[in-house]
Amino acid sequence: MVKITYIAADGTDTTVETQVGNNVMHTALSNNVAGIVGECGGAMMCATCHCYVDEAWADKVGAQIDGEEDMLECAAADIRPTSRLSCQIKITPELDGLVVHLPESQE
């Protein structure tokens, strides 16, 4: 199992466990983590799963995939250098302990 910590805009943190192969969005939704909506179900057709990867994890998570930057332009919150669509971050063993920050709003 891999642990992920979600930090809400108000500083509240929630740590959950997930299996390798899941993604950050589905993990949040299945664990009732507030702050991730995921309207499109992970099809990269919306930006309601926008998150900010903690700077310490940015290199391990990797760069945005093709089309992700365009979709992030639709995000409700400010885009930062570590902005990602959480549906596009696939869980690997190397991401054990991953920390993501959630924006104030997804819509």
Query: Across-strand partners of 53?
Result: 100
Domains and CATH numbers, the chain: 2-101 (3.10.20.30)
pTM for the model = 0.95
Q: End-to-end CA distance of the chain, in Å?
A: 31
pLDDT category, 6, cuts 50, 70, 90?
very high
* Neighbouring C-beta atoms of residue 17, cutoff 10 Å: 11
Give the pLDDT confidence of 17-49 residue by residue, as tens digits: 999 999 999 999 999 999 999 999 999 999 999
Contact assessment for residue 92 and residue 3, using Cβ atoms and an 8 Å cutoff = no
